Copies of this chain bind each other. A is one copy, B any other.
Amino acid sequence: MQAQLIALDWGTTSLRAYKLAEGGQVLEQRSLASGIMQLPKAPRIINGRECADGFELAFDEACGDWLDAQPDLPVIACGMVGSAQGWREATYRDTPANVANLGTSLQTVRSLRGVDVHIVPGVIQRSRLPNVMRGEETQVLGVLQSLAHEANTDLLIGLPGSHSKWVEVADGCIVHFDTFMTGEVFAVLSEHSILGRTQQRGGSFDGQAFDRGVQVALSADGDIGVLSTLFSARTLGLTGELNGAQQTDYLSGLLIGHELSALANAQRQRRNSVHLPSIVLIGNAQLCGRYSRALDACGFTQVTLAEQATERGLWQLAVAAGLIAANLSR
């Protein structure tokens, strides 16, 4: 089957490349550590010229051989590659943002090979505390394509990660979203704070310790807020109630529990109802597993997982942008 598109999901710490065929079918995929904050540095010859530009080097590593084989393949990319620190800034689109229409606003950068890379713009919500996303808008589109249309109204799309996003969609538009820095806070506390000193990491998942953390966040003890409950990840170790391995998953559950407890309150307030929306989760399977567990404890009863959201979204945007011949688009 002939490839039709190279699709890149290029974030802060990773770069995923997909070679897609007719209808968006995945022929091949790769994952590199060349996120925009950790680009390759060793100069190399690209297209007959010595090159030291990190973006060019990463791009070449990710899909140079695919382009060697098919030099006319169109290329589309989403994520932090379009930020001010990226390869070429793609100006944010304001909420409400029609995700299918983002394909008409692609920014381009011409690579050393002469191939244009089409970059998807992120979305900004200009609320009192502004919110931004880059990459998640593409995943949201990928999910919407695969959902029954009527389901969208009472739906919240969750994208757990370093910075979790919770996205409300109406009529194909992103109308509101919230960000929680839960994943990054977990990482920096585990690696650099006193909590990490007694943690043992890398073991198998301890569901009981995780659930205990979630329950603390939801309990009356959690009302004092995460800046205070955090300390229990240390003191429950001092009193012998949590060993080093348990402390890690307890902290994870505690942080995710605080996130989801706040999310549930915010959703009830926004909807002026005790009823909570259905959830579609997009992301890393292990992390989505943790979130599913905690969502259930928080009273979100309908949770489903979406697959291949990024590559589907990128394919749709490439079609909308006219990068794919119409007869091959479905």
Contact = CB atoms under 8 A, between A and B. Distances in A.
Interface in A126-178: 126, 128-132, 163, 178
Interface string A236-261: 10110000000000000001001100
Nearest to A85: B197
Given A179-B231, A226-B225, A262-B227, A129 B236 contact: yes
Contacts of A132: 235, 238
A264 to B, nearest CB: 11
Given A12-B194, A129-B221, 4 more contacts: A129-B229, A129-B231, A181-B193, A223-B266
A251 to B, nearest CB: 12
Interface string A204-223: 00000000000010000101
Q: Per DSSP, are chain A's interface residues mostly helix, strand or loop, or mixed?
A: helix
Nearest to A230: B181
A218 to B, nearest CB: 13
Given A129-B229, A129-B236, A224 B184 contact: no
A185 interface: yes
A188 interface: yes
A180 interface: yes
A130 B236 contact: yes
B221 A128 contact: yes
B223 A265 contact: yes
Contacts of A184: 193-194
A189 interface: yes
